[in-house]
Structure 1
Amino acid sequence: MGSRRGRPQQQQYPPPARGGGRGPIPQQQGGGRGTQGFTAAPPQHPRHDAAAGRGRGRAARGDGPSSPAPAAAGPLGRLPPELRQAMEDPSPPPAQPVPVPAQAEAAAATGQAAIPASSKAIRFPLRPGKGSAGTRCLVKANHFIAQLPDKDLHHYHVSITPEVTSRVVNRAVIHELVNLHRAAYLGGRLPAYDGRKSLYTAGPLPFASKEFQITLLDDDDGSGAQRRQRNFKVVIKFAARADLHRLGMFLAGRHAEAPQEALQVLDIVLRELPSARYAPFGRSFFSPDLGRRQPLGDGLESWRGFYQSIRPTQMGLSLNIDMSATAFIEPLPVIDYAAQLLRSDIHSRPLSDAERVKIKKALRGVKVEVTHRGNMRRKYRISGLTTQATRELTFPVDEGGTVKSVVQYFQETYGFAIQHTYLPCLQVGNQQRPNYLPMEVCKIVEGQRYSKRLNQNQIRALLDETCQYPRDRERDITQMVKHNAYQEDPYAKEFGIKISDRLASVDARILPAPRLKYNETGREKDCLPRVGQWNMMNKKMVNGGKVRSWMCVNFARNVPDKLARDFCHQLAQMCQDSGMDFALEPVLPPMSARPDQVERALKARYHEAMNILGPQRRELDLLIGILPDNNGSLYGDLKRVCEIDLGIVSQCCCTKQVFKLNKQIYANIALKINVKVGGRNTVLVDALSRRIPLVTDRPTIIFGADVTHPHPGEDSSPSIAAVVASQDWPEVTRYAGLVSAQAHRQELIEDLYKVRQDPQKGPVSSGMIRELLISFKKSTGEKPQRIIFYRFVHAQSENTRSCAVCFH
């Protein structure tokens, strides 16, 4: 699906079964990643923010959301019943009430005129107040308080001719302009530049529009030859004043909508110096000087760096900083890089066609420098790889048609004897008239970020590198802030921005653990987790799923058949003991298969099983796959074949799990299997007793939605939208999911809600939301009276647009 263009029909995940298999709607327990929540109906419902950033800790968990949320709107007497129910701490309203949309709605309900905060704003409900449950504590957050500058910011439009797409070149042009003309023409101002079309100054420039002529010299390649010049025309023209007053109003709680332009200006100012020092990517900066490099395999290494973003919070303006890491191409000799990529020594043998194609794909677009000319390190960008070996390559040297071999040319011109003549040459420059460079005279230039997809082993190595204990992460973040020395940043000084060097302290609460309900047939019928942990000892699943027919395929060569059989038997016994209706014997005994033949093995084994089950009018309920610990793409291939091609539920187990033969491991796998086949492991006692505010008082469906975009460098693959929704009530433990392919890098979910034209009925509503609402009605027998919709958006500015589409 990832390689398909256009918009195929939305699919249920897993899709309906093919070839006799069946693919039930996947069932999940619990939530997922922290997202921003809001309620849809009725419009007065409060929003419950968790103040949690995504993944890299971009916001602190505490009493408040990541953006300023004013206190309750008006006195308690004017609150609707659900707001009154949700309020844990009925504190008095603030001295300066905030004119936000929920107050406007409350005013409208009493006949008063409602004044919207913004014509474009989505009217989010107010937070009803701060909670009081749990044990109060103080936590440190990776936020550093910033003082709002008291400056008059001006925005200028920049036009550079000839136009270039590289931000690096654009920055070099503006940097040269500032160096030459800051005193004479810029009034001594030090501008901040976004690398594209916008330039900002702390105060006006002495002109409304002005043209400059700038000359850039190419880097010195050590040859002593005259460096190439490039001439640019730069036009700087006044565009607007950046309004920081609205940002101050927003931070003070007197404006409902965050002024994104003002935040963007401050972000650009604080990014200016790091962009010159380090390798920027997105909101992060990387450098080999910011931490030790770690090899990732196949010619890649990880560089440490930091993420930074200016954020409005309840504490005021803050700079959010976190540690990050990403993959760079190792600055190796090209032959050594190719050997790592192929995991084979190529110093003494020619390449096969498959190996040559693999190297060509990996090196296309990579910048290299030559090493055969002493200090002259000229750089080139690779455009391809020759199909012929170096010893077979010739090229014309004059108009008369005289040709020379590459080997002869390098010997006569540079006195360099090529050793590896059986290897192909790198092609650099124009594809129509390429230049040939032997692989042995080229070295990869340092600092090139790897933008293609990492394999599973590389991802695992990168995650291991970035996983830290909180105290170690705190230490590294604090050291990074001191290393960046924001108080000495000339751009921060110019714009009057002051950054604290201490982690922000945030009031927080450790919430009491919810009591969990298990099946009445177990020795323990409920459980109270301690420090977030509990186990299944003496407990049974509240609803055990059915697995009457199953089989196992072993792709791990070091797991003998007997051990695979013992593992499967113990796992089946654990599933049965935990409350599932699980057959102890498989349809077929466990079979070993080669990892490079996963599709053939799975389909062959599936058809063998169906030859037995088909006459009995039964289906295969589950496939257990035993995988090597370092399985590369095997896991994804197995899931694709099982869930898309065959339509069967699958459970993967690693080799190390098989060898341990540990009851706790069996129990954890059993819990996963039960959810996948439609069972429920546990429910909240509060849900059964209808004590969860805004969920259990009336039929409620909870949605979650996100869009996954192709990896950077993939320009044709579609983005994948996923929407899940709860399918039971009041327990809210089962979820159904839909996925849909849509336009490349489109953040709005196109198939969320659609109106199609029916020949007989006319306009008919359809889309992912409608399908899930119908599924909820069939599952519960109730129409939802309330919708809670969690929508993660990758850009702050997309939030309002996404919400508008969700509830159109």
Structure 2
Amino acid sequence: MERGTPEMLPPPPPVVPPNVVPQKVAIGKRVPMARPGVAIRGQSISLLVNHFKVTVAKSEGYFYHYSVSIKYEDGNPVDAKGIGRKILEKLHETYVVELDGKKFAYDGEKSLFTIGPLPQNKLEFTVILDEVSSNRNTGRGSPEADGSPTDLDRKRLRKQSRSKTYNVAISYAAKIPMQAIPNALRGQDSEHFQESVRVLDIILRQNAAQQGCLLVRQSFFHNDDRNYVDLGGGVFGCRGFHSSFRATQGGLSLNMDVSTTMIVRPGPVIDFLLFNQKIDHPSHIDWVKAKRALKNLRVRATNSNREFKISGLSDFVCKEQTFSLKQRSEAREVEITVYDYFVNERNIQLKYSGEMPCLNVGKPKRPTYIPVELCSLVSLQRYTKALSNFQRAALVEKSRQKPHERMNALKNGLSKSNYAAEPLLQSAGVTISTEFTRIQGRVLAPPKLRVGNGEDFAPRNGRWNFNQKKLVEPVKIERWAVVNFSARCNMQNLCKDLIRCGNMKGIIIHDPYVMIEEMAQSRRSPSPIRVDDMIGLVKSKLPGPPQFLLCILPEKKNSDLYGPWKKRNLSELGVVTQCIAPTRINDQYLTNLLLKINAKESVLGGLNSVLTTENAPPRPLPLVYSKPTIIIGMDVSHGSPGRDVPSVAAVVSSRKWPLISKYRAAVRTQPPRSEMIECLFKPTSATGDAGIFRELLNDFYDSCGRRPEQIIIFRDGVSESQFNQVLNIELEQIIQACKFRDEKWEPKFMLVVAQKNHHTKIFQANSPDNVPPGTVIDNGICHPRNNDFYMCAHAGMIGTTRPTHYHVLYDELGYSPDDFQEFVLSLSYVYQRSTTAISIVAPICYAHLAAAQMSQFLKFEDLSDKSSSHSGGGGPTVPELPVLNEKVRSSMFFC
């Protein structure tokens, strides 16, 4: 047998325990279902997983939880981020006897945990902390002095100490039984398990903080130049590690993975600004942009070696910005510029700063100014703004690690963390193995595909191509046109090659009716105006609406023309359009382009390939094909960090049952950063919008003449803490939408959450290559009770394959584990845009595409004008998306 060829094991008996099929219950009562068993089909494969076995020798006793309150001497609470750890470290160092020698784990905010109780339930301490980062002022609007004080400076230092006093109160809050961990690992429900594991996670975070790491949720990043990769624009990618404890079938494990965050390029502030603005000389700095980029960053003044936080810039340049300086006699004050103060009073030479604003590191009413060239950005400061396309591509390229590289990095990270010497873990009886967990996985056979002329074939290594093959349902494109916003593309050659390649794939493409170049005078106009001008040209040159428009854009990815162009065509004109920004055109590029065009024309019947089981017997997925079944994919797209733009919820549904390769989408806006989909069902609506799900049910009935008896839902983008909301809010809306259509209609439901944003990685035990496509794991590292599994459906060609983690939360269909895993694998092969198996089921990919495309519609909208309340009155308003034209509403416009 060839290496990597799955060998099918005999199927298990099709028996599903009756107690695993959930009953419909009242809202708020559904919980994730239990695992009905494990699957056995497929070829066995030996795997290693980045879960490190944890043993807990001590099951008796308690973690004690205490609330922490930190205040200044005047009673005001301390809210400065990061100072809490320094204060608590100083407290432990000063009052070790009063704490009975106990060590504690502090979360950096308002909680600390000990093993066993502190001497008293309430303790109060006074902590004096040297202010390494204090903002000491020497007068109103004063500059920061250097580190060599004169007699006058020494006098001031005595008056204005660099130390501050804090009052810390520690109060008993609760105790958490350590027994909760072994109870949960035995599959018993334990309300204290998450709390106890949280304590262990906090211990790891504190361990990293004590090593000087940057902490980002459960990840930590060392200050080491070897971990930095330059992304351009003054931004570095910083490689670190994620670590978290997880309950699995094999016991408690530490999931450790390589993690990356973005940080500001450390070093001189001027250098950062040159990189950030892509300029070559300080005289070219745009200080409006610089103010936005620098605000709230921490700098170290090289003349005093003290740290400050930037609050803004001075109103005037350094040679003109004045402040009041007290004379030695202290009898009077004189006005002096910041430049003169540093050059003449401090004898510090300034090369550039005279004509630049100063950094303001003081308070709004008491500014403190430092010349820019005397400041350096402190290391490990997160960069939280949206990355450019170039930076995002650089991050992906430079973050890739082959499987053996990632495994070596994890071994080194685990060794460097030295958890074996962590005293709190020792006190809790916790030991962490340094060996990867070894488990047996299975490789499922790929489904067979059908293309044109009834040709069937089996993909190899998760891939196939259309060389010498035709599409299974090619469309005929007769009335179409090309519009060109780019002067670089030769339209005649492109159309000629597209027609030739289309004929090879079975797509009959006539010559375009017209090819339209953008008028030169339009190119300097705003993007919406450029689109309006082009639409006007199209209308004037065509006798009627085109069947299809090919649009050539000047920039690849996120062109400002993309959103307005799609909006005008899809919502107003009802025309399917394909946008391209070609750099190199060959047959492979044209084939990929034709796959998208053919799929977009699905109203006319376009399909590229299908499973052999979709339109002809035998059907090995009887639960889908025996009864009318609708397959749903749901996702929510959020705006870039820092932008208060609406979230976009997209739901796609299969159509023309028994096909499972054709879909349509319904999309709505909802409040920013809202993850739960709020508009699945609307019993009454002033706008006539009945909700997403009723729209999709109507379409399913129209496309196949029957209503679904089974509804399979795949939900993306939610964490485990949100599972109950998906079960009891979103699923309930869907059930109510069905009842609203017919009170007696009771279809059966299945709800599955798919997660890509996790840190489990799978490696072959006996090979440096990625795991083969179709690899599945439902033992060893999965949940001890719930119904979940990991699947690598695709072939990882670059970097290390990330499996998708599927959680079956609800199942009234009675799927066996084997049948369902094969069904999920099949749904990874019906994605019409590519000739590879994809990493997650196609309905979720389509939902993501639809949400991303429709969110572009809002890019140039005045959100204050076109808005409607989605919150029942009085709440914030959310702009509605334009309604898609009925001509394209049922198409795969998003493909």
TM (norm. structure 1) is 0.77
- Aligned to 1:719, which of 647, 655, 662? 647
Equivalent-residue separation in structure 2 for 1:738 and 1:333 (angstroms): 50
Letter in structure 2 aligned against 1:228: R
Q: Structure 1 pair 198/350, CA: closer, same or farther in 2 (3 Å)? A: closer
Aligned twin of 1:394: 322
Structure 2 alignment gaps of length 5 or more: 1-5, 135-146, 150-156, 733-895
Structure 2 matches for 1:128-147, cutoff 5 A? 128-147=36-55
| Deviation (angstroms), 1:532 | 0.8
Give 1:356's aligned residue.
287
Query: What letter matches 2:220 in structure 1?
Result: F
The structural deviation recorded for 1:623 is 2.7
Q: 5 Å matches for 1:501-650?
A: 501-520=434-453, 525-545=455-475, 547-552=477-482, 559=488, 561-562=489-490, 564-585=491-512, 587-589=514-516, 599-613=528-542, 616-619=543-546, 621-627=548-554, 631=556, 635-647=558-570, 649-650=576-577
**Is 1:667 aligned with 2:553?**
no
Write the letter of the residue equivalent to 1:746.
S
Counterpart of 2:237?
A: 302
Write out per-residue CA displacement over residues 214-250 of structure 1, whole angstroms, 9 at most, x where no aligned residue.
2222128966857522222222222222234344233
Q: In 2 relative to 1, CA 165–88 (structure 1 residues): closer, same or farther, beyond 3 Å?
A: farther
- Report matched runs for 1:327-346 at 5 Å: 327-346=262-281
1:245, 1:269 → 2: CA distance? 18
For residues 413 and 538 of structure 1, what CA distance do their matches in structure 2 show? 82
Task: Specify the SS of the correspondent of 2:65.
Answer: strand
Does 118-127 or 243-252 show the bigger shift? 118-127
- 2:773 matched residue in structure 1: none
- Matching residue's letter, 1:677: E
Contact 1:158/1:198 (8 A) holds in 2: yes
Structure 1 residue 459: Cα displacement: 0.7
- Cα deviations across residues 440-487 of structure 1 (Å, max 9, x unaligned)? 222222221101111111111111111122222222122211222222
Q: Deviations over 1:658-685 (max 9, x none)?
A: 2xx2x22221221122223322211111
Distance 1:339 1:512 in 2: 54
* TM norm structure 2: 0.70
The one-letter amino acid of 2:626's match is D
Structure-2 separation of matches of 1:583 and 1:388: 65
* Structure 1 position 164, deviation (Å): 3.0
Alignment of 1:696-775 (within 5 A): 696-714=625-643, 716-756=644-684, 766-775=690-699
* 1:535–1:263 distance in 2 versus 1, CA, 3 Å: same
Q: 2:634 corresponds to which letter in structure 1? A: A
- Counterpart in the other structure of 1:282: 217
Distance 1:682 1:337 in 2: 51
| Closer/same/farther in 2, CA of residues 464 and 190 from structure 1, 3 Å limit | same
Going from structure 1 to structure 2, the CA distance change for 1:736 and 1:408 (only over 3 Å counts) comes to same
Alignment correspondent of 1:192:
105
Counterpart of 2:307 (choices 369, 379, 383) is: 379
**1:499-545 Cα deviation digits (max 9, x unpaired):** 1111112221111010011233xxx6122101111111232222224
SS at match of 1:604: helix
Look up the match of 2:350.
418
What is the DSSP-based 3-state SS (H/G/I as helix, E as strand, rest coil) of the residue aligned with 1:200?
Answer: strand
Deviation per residue, 1:132-187 (Å, 9 max, x gap): 222111111111111235242222222222433345212222222222333x2333
Looking at structure 2, the residues matched to 592 and 147 of structure 1 have their Cα atoms a distance apart, in angstroms, of 71
User: Any conservation in 1 of the 2:483–2:515 contact (CA below 8 Å)?
Assistant: no
Aligned-partner Cα distance in 2 for 1:188–1:295? 45
Q: Are 1:429 and 2:362 an aligned pair?
A: yes
| Residue number in structure 1 paired with 2:206 | 272
Instruction: Name the CA shift for 1:290/1:341 in 2 (closer, same or farther; >3 Å).
Output: closer
Per mean C-alpha deviation after superposition, the further-off stretch among 741-750 and 528-537 is 741-750
Which residue matches 1:202? 115
CA distance 1:600–1:657, change in 2 (3 Å): farther
Q: Secondary structure at the match of 2:558?
A: helix
Please tell me the residue identity of whatever aligns with 1:732.
I
Select 1:370's aligned residue among 301, 326, 333.
Answer: 301
**Residue 684 (structure 1) aligned to one of 608, 611, 626:** 611
The aligned amino acid for 2:564 is V
| Counterpart AA for 1:566 | N
Deviation at 1:91, TM superposition (A): 10
2:66 paired residue number: 156
- Separation (CA, whole Å) in 2 of partners of 1:290 and 1:698: 59
CA distance in 2, matches of 1:638, 1:591: 12
Where 2:246 maps in the other structure, the secondary structure is: strand
Distance 1:685 1:773 in 2: 26
Kept in 2, the 8 Å contact 1:290–1:305? The answer is no
Q: Which residue identity does 1:195 align to in structure 2?
A: G
Aligned ranges for residues 202-241 of structure 1 at < 5 Å? 202-219=115-132, 228-241=162-175
* Equivalent in the alignment of 1:496: 429
2:12 is the counterpart of 1:89: yes
1:252 offset after TM fit, Å? 1.6
Distance 1:584 1:400 in 2: 87
Residues 270, 393 of structure 1: alpha-carbon distance in 2 compared, 3 angstrom cutoff: closer
Tell me the C-alpha RMSD between the 2 structures: 3.3
Once residues 754 and 586 of structure 1 are traced to their aligned partners in structure 2, the CA distance between those partners, rounded to angstroms, is 44
Match of 2:381 in 1: 448
Native 8 Å contact 1:89 1:129 kept in 2: no
Q: Deviations over 1:317-352 (max 9, x none)?
A: 1111111212111123222222222222233x365x
8 Å Cα contact 1:793-1:799 kept in structure 2: no
Distance 1:774 1:283, change over 3 A: farther
Deviates more, 1:256-265 or 1:418-427: 256-265
Matched position secondary structure for 1:397: strand
Unaligned runs of 5+ in 1: 1-62, 64-86, 110-115
Following TM superposition, by how much is the alpha carbon of 1:597 offset from its aligned partner in structure 2, in angstroms? 6.3
Residue in structure 2 matched with residue 20 of structure 1 by the alignment: none
The residue matched to 2:311 in structure 1 has which SS?
strand
Q: Is the 8 A contact 2:20 2:33 kept in 1?
A: no
Q: 1:261 to 1:801 in 2, by over 3 A?
A: farther
Task: Give secondary structure in 2 for the equivalent of 1:508.
Answer: strand
For the structure 1 residues 216 and 525, does the alpha-carbon distance in structure 2 shift closer, same or farther, using more than 3 Å as the test?
A: same
State the match for 2:90 in structure 1. 176
CA distance in 1, matches of 2:686, 2:535: 40
Q: Is the 8 A contact 1:556 1:595 kept in 2?
A: no
Between the aligned partners of 1:163 and 1:482, the Cα distance in structure 2 is 39
Q: CA deviation at 1:359?
A: 1.4
Aligned-partner Cα distance in 1 for 2:507–2:662: 17
Post-superposition Cα deviations, 1:746-769, rounded to whole Å, max 9, x if no partner, equal 33222233443679xxxx993222
Secondary structure of 1:341 counterpart: helix
User: Is this contact kept in 1: 2:69–2:110, CA < 8 A?
Assistant: yes
CA distance in 2, matches of 1:502, 1:229: 46
How many residue pairs end up in the alignment? 680
Report if the CA contact (8 A) 1:552-1:591 is conserved. Answer: no
Q: Taking structure 1 as reference, are residues 316 and 120 closer, same or farther at Cα in structure 2, changes over 3 Å only?
A: farther
Whether the 8 Å contact between 2:499 and 2:509 is mirrored in structure 1 is yes
Q: What are the superposed Cα offsets for residues 646-705 of structure 1, whole Å, 9 maximum, x if unpaired? A: 4354444454432xx2x2222122112222332221111123333214322212222222
In structure 2, relative to structure 1, the CA distance for the partners of 1:293 and 1:123 (3 Å cut) is: closer
Q: Which amino acid aligns with 2:52?
A: F
- CA 1:388 to 1:237, structure 2 compared with 1: closer, same or farther past 3 Å? closer
SS of aligned partner of 2:267: coil
> What is the alpha-carbon distance in structure 2 between the residues aligned to residue 144 and residue 482 of structure 1?
12
Work out which of the residue numbers 723, 727, 731 in structure 2 matches 1:803: 727
